[in-house]
């Protein structure tokens, strides 16, 4: 499979250098700034399906069908792009085209998630969002770069077929391969009742994003190896699966009350990091979900009542670049 590494992953790049790039992209938001790319560092894996800061790497479309079970399509006008078809409305963009400096680690393209396998609908490890949401992240990124931080996104637009995949998995009580890391203190039979899994997701409306902060220069992250021993997502940072994010008190997608943004047990630097992320994004118009420190939605949403199902792929966009 073909993979192109983003230039800022391949070396320790300063916040000043990234700020220069994001400033250039602000003056021409429809263009992708592509500085010269240094060679990939030794030890970097180009294999697909592993965890890591993937940037906007491009993968060839898989030829196999997804899931096996038929996906449930949301109700709506089938003639409108994106609802039941393969194309997104023109209001959707790749985050890369608006701000190429924001790091991307698209977890649901990899097996390092609470299901333990690539999720249906994720054809490429790319962040797709409505244009207003992408521009809001760009504004927040400019402020953070001046303080020596970068945003890193874990998930952006999420097709309905991916949500359906979560629902099928949650109903299979025998599949607990990722329990020790992602939901060690939650009985799987309670995932719906406790609100961790639902049949609809705001991500499918295109203006919700899961993200964190990374201190610059960003350090590389090692790939996740399926079947390796797992550590609880609420364990001390040095014991959790390594992530180049700052310490937020839990890992991403941790099904635990410690993930509540303002949980009083989270103090010190962990709380400060959460508040820096929350305050910066709020200034850009993004609203936090109190139960998840990583979950933000741009308001007002361009599509507040529409749940899309086009695949996560550059090919889904009206203007792929």
What is the C-alpha separation between 310 and 158, in angstroms, rounded? 9
What is the C-alpha separation between 312 and 155, in angstroms, rounded? 10
Helix, coil or strand: residue 59:
coil
Active site residues: 292
Average pLDDT, the chain: 82
Nearest CA to 118 among 55, 206, 59, 195? 59
Residue 226 and residue 178 in contact, taking contact as beta carbons nearer than 8 Å? no
The pLDDT of residue 208 is above 80? yes
| C-alpha of 317 from chain center | 18
The pLDDT value given to residue 18: 62
Q: What is the mean predicted confidence (pLDDT) over 98-117? A: 98
**Choice between 194 and 7, residue whose per-residue pLDDT is larger:** 194
Contacts of residue 8, defined as CB under 8 A and 6 or more positions apart, other chains included, come to 17, 18, 55, 101, 103, 218
The pLDDT of residue 284 is above 90? yes
What are the phi and psi torsion angles at 255 (to 5°)? -80, 80
The pLDDT value given to residue 319: 72
Distances (CA, A) of 175 to 26, 117, 163, 179: 45, 12, 17, 9
**Choice between 53 and 150, residue whose per-residue pLDDT is larger:** 150
**Choice between 29 and 173, residue whose per-residue pLDDT is larger:** 173
Q: Can you spell out the DSSP letters for 249-316? A: SS-TT--SGGGSTT-TT--HHHHHHHHHHHHHHHHTTEEE-TT-TTEEEESS-SSTT------BSGGG
Pairing of strands 149-155, 286-288: unpaired
**pTM (predicted TM-score):** 0.79
Nearest CA to 153 among 296, 300, 320? 296
């Amino acid at each position: 499979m073909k993979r192109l590494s983003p230039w800022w992953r391949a070396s320790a790049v300063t916040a000043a250098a990234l700020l220069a790039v994001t400033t250039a992209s602000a003056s021409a938001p429809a263009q992708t700034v592509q500085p010269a790319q240094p060679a990939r560092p030794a030890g970097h894996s180009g294999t697909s399906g592993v965890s890591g800061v993937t940037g906007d790497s491009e993968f060839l479309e898989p030829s196999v069908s997804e899931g096996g079970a038929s996906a449930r399509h949301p109700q709506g006008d089938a003639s409108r792009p994106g609802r039941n078809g393969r194309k997104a409305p023109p209001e959707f963009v790749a985050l890369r085209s608006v701000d190429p400096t924001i790091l991307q680690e698209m977890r649901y393209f990899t097996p390092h998630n609470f299901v333990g396998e690539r999720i249906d609908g994720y054809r490429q490890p790319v962040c797709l969002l409505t244009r207003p949401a992408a521009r809001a992240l760009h504004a927040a990124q400019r402020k953070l770069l001046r303080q020596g931080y970068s945003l890193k996104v874990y998930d952006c637009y999420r097709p309905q077929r991916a949500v359906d995949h979560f629902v099928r998995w949650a109903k299979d009580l025998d599949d607990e391969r990722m329990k020790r890391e992602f939901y060690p203190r939650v009985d799987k039979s309670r995932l719906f009742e406790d609100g961790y899994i639902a049949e609809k997701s705001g991500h499918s409306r295109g203006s919700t994003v899961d993200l964190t902060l990374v201190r610059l220069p960003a350090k590389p992250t090692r790939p996740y190896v399926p079947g390796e021993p797992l550590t609880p997502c609420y364990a001390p940072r040095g014991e959790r699966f390594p992530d180049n994010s700052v310490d937020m008190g839990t890992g991403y997608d941790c099904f635990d009350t410690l993930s509540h943004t303002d949980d009083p047990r989270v103090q010190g630097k962990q709380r400060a990091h959460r508040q820096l992320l929350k305050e910066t994004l709020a200034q850009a118009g993004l609203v936090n979900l109190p139960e998840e420190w990583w979950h933000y939605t741009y308001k007002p949403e361009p599509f507040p009542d529409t749940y899309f199902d086009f695949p996560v792929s550059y090919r889904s966009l009206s203007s792929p670049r």
